């Protein structure tokens, strides 16, 4: 459970109360939402899709960039990291 909070903290890092600016590309957000729900494994679809449903609309542009970078990682590596079965790699 601590690893899930760490993943959430990596993305949110800062205030969660800032609304996304109107200038944020709506198509980009739609693509991210789709990607979060179609990652390759049902487990990641639930974890990251649920996160996107709850937080994506409230993320700042920097946080959206972090989320996009995170979900671009290998599906198995992400699942192992979030569940504590593997180590997190350094962000690129």
Which of 51, 54, 49, 55 lies closest to 36 in space, CA to CA? 49
Q: What is the pLDDT of residues 71-88, one digit of tens each?
A: 999 999 999 988 888 776
Is 18 a member of any domain?
no
Helix (H, G, I), strand (E, B) or coil at 15: coil
Average pLDDT value for residue range 27-33: 94
CA–CA separation, 27 and 44 (whole Å): 22
Is 49 a member of any domain?
yes
Percent of the chain at pLDDT above 90? 53
Is 34 a member of any domain?
yes
Count of domains observed in the chain? 1
Q: Which residues contact 58 (CB under 8 A, 6 or more apart)?
A: 16, 17, 18, 19, 20
Is 19 a member of any domain?
no
Number of residues in the chain: 92
Contact 50, 89 (CB under 8 A): no
Range of the domain at 71: 2-9+24-83
Is 78 a member of any domain?
yes
Average pLDDT value for residue range 24-41: 92
Contact 70, 6 (CB under 8 A): no
């Amino acid at each position: 459970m601590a690893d899930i909070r760490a993943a959430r903290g990596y993305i949110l890092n800062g205030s969660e109360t800032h609304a996304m600016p109107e200038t944020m590309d709506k198509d980009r957000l739609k693509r991210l939402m789709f990607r979060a729900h179609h990652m390759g494994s049902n487990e990641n679809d639930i974890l990251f899709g649920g996160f996107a449903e709850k937080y994506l609309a409230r993320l700042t542009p920097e946080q959206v960039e972090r989320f996009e970078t995170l979900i671009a990682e290998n599906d198995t590596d992400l699942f192992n990291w979030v569940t504590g079965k593997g180590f997190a790699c350094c962000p690129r």
